[in-house]
Amino acid sequence: MSKSTFYTSIGYKVLMALSGLFLMFFLLQHLVINSLSVISPDAFNEASHFMGTNPLVQFLLQPVLIFGVVFHFIMGFFLDLKNRKSRAINYSYNKPSANSSWVSRNMIISGLTVLAFLGIHFIDFWIPEINVKYIQGDMSGMHNGEFRYFHELHEKFAAMPRVIAYVIAFIFLSLHLMHGFQSSFQSVGIATSKTRVAFYKFGNIFAIIVPTGFILIALFHFITQH
């Protein structure tokens, strides 16, 4: 496959879809680990410590994930801008709701909301974690003689504004996934008349279950300390 293949409209679609599918897989494993915080704080601590200190995760998967996130957002902005330019004069009267869903037309809005949330999420968890591990050099994962991960997560959700922000962000993530999931299979050419409905239904289930899971975890930690 030549380099120029990716500089085509279909090449962009495929790259967007592949990065999106990768991020959806990441979301799923993130949810599984976070769910442990509800079931067993010890299991959550163990899993967090493994993910936070394993060299393969830290120095291979984490950079790939960061690249995937940055690539997906930059490509999203680039394509949105390019697409807007393809119609210099807009219709005076347009009725897009007659032929397409709001979520499919406004991926940039749901995507920007998720991006704003990622900013908060990085400030809340990722930057402090990097600070402790790689600036202060403390790889033990301990605080006052016990693993710190569960307490850090639990305490973050004491503040209602943060919980509300998380809930809003995950609602928009759900909207983003409702279109993004089935759309990615169309973009890579897997969807057919026989499989499209299945991708659509499974995508909706994924788009509801995964964000709802994150919302319930945030609510669990909020409720259990009030």
Q: Nearest distance from residue 203's CB to another protein, in Å?
A: 11
Please report, as ranges, the residues that interact with another protein according to CB under 8 A.
1-2, 5, 8-10, 12-14, 79, 82-83, 85-96, 98-101, 104-105, 107, 179, 182-183, 186-193, 196
| Nearer residue to another protein within complex by CB, 11 or 52 | 11
* Long-range own/partner contacts, residues 96-105 (CB < 8 A, 24 or more apart): 101/179, 103/175, 103/176, 103/178, 103/179, 104/179, 104/183
**CB 198 → another protein: shortest distance, Å?**
13
CA distance 147 to 47: 11
Q: Which two tokens stand for residue 153?
A: 């997560």
- Nearer to another protein (CB atom), residue 40 or residue 192: 192
- Judged by beta carbon, residue 90 or residue 136, the one nearer another protein is 90
Least distance in angstroms from the C-beta of 65 to another protein: 24
Phi, psi of 129 (to 5 degrees): -65, -45
Shortest gap between Cβ of 106 and another protein (angstroms)?
10
- SS3 of 138, please? coil
Closest CA to 76 of 146, 152, 17, 144: 17
Q: 59 vs 93, which CB is nearer to another protein?
A: 93
